[in-house]
């Protein structure tokens, strides 16, 4: 059928999200009877805490929790986020004006971009980096300017080099530490340099911070840096560290003056989060430190299995990286990560994410998710070993 209307021009440079198309391919292969092992997507396979689930059920059984909700979340949730930031990051936030609950932090990327960007503006986007930063920026009509992250610089931006460029049209710079996909960490020195850079060039820094509790001994917030509230926002989420990806609970923190335009946009896009989800999120944010420790014990054991798989593939990696993925450099006899990924999927029915989906600087890498049981990684390793025995990689 030929549609009777054309699509909006803003979609011209925006493609369907890579994992959306890849999941369709994997579903088709499974429909054909192939047992595909998906080691690609970072969707936690473990449940939230029992207390979180109990809070959801108790609230959902009430007759007064099913109505439309306010656009800025219930006060209890804003306070819980504020307490969480103070306990783990040492950052004091006003729950009434400096915290905005979101239906997942991915929603926040759209809301921030639509609130501040338009045609003629420029956005600094990390390469490699989360593809949504780029696609949402393009949807606003703004122009994307890559800033390269290099392994030789520990996957941190060369701020001195950026400062030599004409940044007069840049309004937002997206950063993401602990970094996805590379697993790199930032320290307070780098965060301070980012804040100084933003102040000097009148750029709003937005740090996307959902991985800070996963295999990371030093959780940090960009907002802990003096002066950060003047030039920065931070996104956070319950998806990863609380095993609540499908629940869609996130938050945006920053100065009231920056959040107010986002609220104006958001209030026209949704009708608030289901109240039982918010009540459950309050409970999740009260999980004790032992919750994160036990979760990390699981990821730590899985990471050992992934390291063994990557050794078999003759990839190299930094064992100190954090987060729920392992980022690895491919051997030189593959032209890029796409080639390695395609060979493994075709020959062994094991899907591994090619690093190039995160930008051209990721072409020589792959990424493996830790969101599968150890036995899945063991099966994947066995399949690859069997294939390698028949057809050596060199």
Q: What is the pLDDT of residues 218-265, one digit of tens each?
A: 999 999 999 999 999 999 999 999 999 999 999 999 999 999 999 999
Q: What is the pLDDT of residues 208-217, one digit of tens each?
A: 999 999 999 8
- Which residue has better confidence, 192 or 392? 192
Q: What is the pLDDT of residues 87-138, one digit of tens each?
A: 999 999 999 999 999 998 999 999 999 999 999 999 999 999 999 999 999 9
CATH number of 9-47+289-390: 3.90.1150.10
Vertex 363, ends 326 and 353: CA angle to 5°?
45
72, 100 contact by CB (below 8 A): yes
pLDDT at 19 over 70: no
326, 366 contact by CB (below 8 A): no
Domain boundaries, the chain: 9-47+289-390, 64-284
**Percent of the chain topping pLDDT 90:** 85
pLDDT at 185 over 70: yes
327 forms beta bridges with 367
**Percent of the chain topping pLDDT 70:** 96
Quickly state the pLDDT bin for 14 (edges 50, 70, 90): low
Per-residue model confidence (pLDDT) at position 384: 95
Interval 174-186 mean pLDDT = 97
Quickly state the pLDDT bin for 3 (edges 50, 70, 90): confident
Counting Cα atoms < 13 Å in the Cβ hemisphere of 286 gives 16
Per-residue model confidence (pLDDT) at position 69: 92
Per-residue model confidence (pLDDT) at position 243: 97
- Candidates 3.40.640.10, 3.50.50.60, 3.10.110.10, 3.40.50.300; CATH matching 64-284: 3.40.640.10
Per-residue model confidence (pLDDT) at position 16: 61
Per-residue model confidence (pLDDT) at position 6: 79
**Dist CA 220 CA 222 (whole Å):** 7
Interval 346-364 mean pLDDT = 95
Per-residue model confidence (pLDDT) at position 86: 98
Fold match flag (9-47+289-390 vs 64-284): no
pLDDT at 330 over 80: yes
351 forms beta bridges with 38
Tokens of 363: 């072409």
Quickly state the pLDDT bin for 31 (edges 50, 70, 90): confident
Per-residue model confidence (pLDDT) at position 34: 83
Look over the chain and give the mean of its residue pLDDT values, rounded to a whole number: 94
Range of weakest confidence among 20-34, 97-111, 117-131, 320-334:
20-34
208 forms beta bridges with 235
DSSP state of 90: -
173, 159 contact by CB (below 8 A): no
Tokens of 216: 């990371």
- Residue 259: CB partners within 8 Å, gap ≥ 6? 97, 98, 99, 100, 233, 252
**Dist CA 168 CA 145 (whole Å):** 12
Contacts 24+ apart (CB under 8 A), 383-387: 383/37, 383/348, 383/349, 383/350, 384/309, 384/312, 384/313, 384/344, 384/348, 384/350, 385/312, 386/348, 387/347, 387/348
Interval 44-68 mean pLDDT = 96
Interval 56-69 mean pLDDT = 96
pLDDT at 336 over 90: yes
């Amino acid at each position: 059928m030929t549609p009777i209307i054309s699509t909006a021009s803003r979609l011209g440079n925006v493609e369907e999200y890579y994992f959306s198309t890849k999941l369709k391919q994997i579903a088709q292969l499974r429909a054909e009877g192939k047992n595909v092992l998906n080691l690609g997507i970072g969707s936690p396979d473990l449940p939230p805490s029992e207390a979180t689930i109990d809070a959801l059920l108790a609230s959902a059984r009430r007759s007064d929790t099913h109505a439309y909700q306010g656009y800025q979340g219930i006060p209890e949730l804003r306070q819980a986020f504020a307490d969480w930031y103070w306990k783990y990051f040492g950052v004091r936030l006003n729950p009434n004006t400096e915290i905005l609950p979101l239906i997942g932090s991915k929603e926040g990327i759209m809301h921030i971009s639509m609130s501040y960007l338009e045609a003629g503006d420029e956005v600094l986007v990390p390469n490699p980096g989360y593809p949504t930063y780029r696609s949402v920026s393009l949807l606003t009509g703004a122009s994307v300017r890559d800033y390269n992250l290099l392994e030789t610089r520990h996957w941190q931006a060369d701020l001195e080099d950026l400062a030599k460029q004409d940044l007069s049209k840049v309004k937002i710079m997206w950063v993401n530490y602990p970094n996805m996909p590379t697993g790199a960490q930032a320290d307070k020195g780098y965060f301070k340099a980012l804040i100084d850079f933003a102040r000097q060039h009148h750029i709003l820094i937005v740090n996307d911070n959902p991985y800070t509790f996963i295999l990371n001994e030093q959780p940090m917030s960009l907002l802990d840096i003096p002066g950060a509230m003047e030039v920065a926002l931070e996104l956070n989420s319950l998806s990863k560290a609380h095993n609540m990806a499908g629940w869609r609970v996130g938050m945006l923190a920053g100065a009231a003056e920056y959040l107010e335009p986002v609220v104006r946009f958001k209030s026209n896009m949704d009708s608030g989060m289901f109240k039982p989800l918010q009540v459950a999120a309050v409970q999740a944010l009260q999980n004790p430190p032992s919750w994160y420790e036990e979760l990390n014990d699981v990821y730590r054991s899985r990471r050992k299995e992934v390291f063994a798989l990557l050794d078999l593939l003759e990839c190299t990696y930094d064992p100190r990286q954090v987060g729920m993925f392992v980022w690895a450099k491919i051997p030189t006899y593959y032209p890029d990560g796409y080639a390695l990924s395609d060979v493994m999927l075709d020959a062994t029915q094991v899907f591994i994410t090619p690093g190039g989906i995160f930008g051209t600087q990721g072409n020589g890498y792959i990424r493996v998710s830790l969101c599968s049981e150890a036995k899945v990684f063991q099966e994947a390793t066995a399949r690859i070993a069997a294939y390698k025995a028949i057809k050596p990689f060199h």
